[in-house]
Amino acid sequence: MSDLLQPILTVDRLTMRFGGLTAIDDLSLAVPARKITAVIGPNGAGKTTLFNCMTGFYKPTLGSVRLNHPQRGVLALEGLPSHAVAHRAQVVRTFQNIRLFPRMTVLENLIVAQHNPLQAASGFSLAGLLGLPAYRRAEAKALETAVGWLTRLKLIDKADVAAGDLPYGTQRRIEIARALCVDPVLLCLDEPAAGLNPRESAELNELLQSLVADDDLSILLIEHDMSVVMNVSDHICVLNYGRKIAEGTPEEIRNNPSVIQAYLGEEEDENMDASTEGAAP
């Protein structure tokens, strides 16, 4: 199942130290293109730190992160500032503790995500101030993109509501919709199912699968919710204490003794079996 011949992202011998603490220790990982890859592991295993190193928020102590961009060739992400990772490499992430622009409307959140093309079209605001047709067209197109994603994520009714006034599960969806507006090639989701109810997380599963199938996206996600991880992932990587302890298909991970021992434990194991029953393969 895991097609590792064409990885979109290759993490090579990545190490991140904070003072004496080694959050990521010599980690290598390949993220296949047009697949869903999950990174799992207990709290403090270094999952979010991995995201931060990939997306330019932290400078890794050692190692490299290479993106195989479909149009722009191979890009070294570890040297890029965070905004360039999103803008130039089109690797876009969400956050574990949702980061929306709470006082702006949902629609505005999605338009801000298209800042770079819009800003270019507005000619450093000059064309925009004059209301030139080229800018008007770009704005209409941005609006269309935003409305498209809002409709697809069933958020269109909430478009003109301040993002901060909406319930938690909706905010999670908005954050994903906003990330999609950046037009990513690789979408990195940090615990997208945290705090969702079972119905919402089932919808999330569907969405993630359709993004890969219909939109040719590659997805990397950090998740604790095993019903999501086991159902949608093509490939799973298990971290513990900053090291990779296992990698493989959901089937392989489920039966991997070191994962069960080091991470899942007795109760978690039952949990996992229960949640995967009736799952679509």
- Report the C-alpha gap between 91 and 84 in whole angstroms: 9
Binder to another protein among 178, 235, 244, 254 (CB under 8 A)? 178
Binder to another protein among 37, 52, 145, 201 (CB under 8 A)? 52
| Vertex 26: Cα angle to 47 and 17 (nearest 5) | 70
Binders in 71-110 for another protein, by CB under 8 A: 81-88, 92-95, 99-105, 107-108
- Report the C-alpha gap between 200 and 3 in whole angstroms: 29
- Report the C-alpha gap between 221 and 200 in whole angstroms: 17
- Report the C-alpha gap between 214 and 239 in whole angstroms: 30
Given the rule CB under 8 A, which of 5-13, 29-37, 159-167, 238-246 is the region that contacts another protein?
A: 159-167
Classify residue 113 by burial, with Cβ atoms within 10 Å: 0-12, 13-18, 19+: buried
**Per rule CB under 8 A, is residue 172 in the interface with another protein?**
no
Classify residue 140 by burial, with Cβ atoms within 10 Å: 0-12, 13-18, 19+: exposed
Closest approach of Cβ 38 to another protein, in Å? 20
Q: Which C-beta is closer to another protein: that of 123 or that of 248?
A: 123
Closest approach of Cβ 26 to another protein, in Å? 21
Contacts of residue 140, defined as CB under 8 A and 6 or more positions apart, other chains included, come to none
**Per rule CB under 8 A, is residue 132 in the interface with another protein?**
no
Q: Which amino acid is at 95?
A: F
DSSP notation for 76-135: EGGGS-HHHHHHTS-EEE--SS----TTSBHHHHHHHTTHHHHHHHTTTTHHHHHT-HHH
Q: Which C-beta is closer to another protein: that of 81 or that of 265?
A: 81
**Per rule CB under 8 A, is residue 242 in the interface with another protein?**
no
**Per rule CB under 8 A, is residue 113 in the interface with another protein?**
yes
Given the rule CB under 8 A, which of 37-45, 144-152, 241-249, 265-273 is the region that contacts another protein?
A: 144-152
**Per rule CB under 8 A, is residue 255 in the interface with another protein?**
no
Which stretches of the chain bind another protein, using CB under 8 A? 18-19, 48, 52, 55-58, 81-88, 92-95, 99-105, 107-108, 111-113, 115-116, 118-119, 122, 124-125, 128-129, 143-144, 147, 150-151, 156, 159-160, 162, 165, 178-179, 182
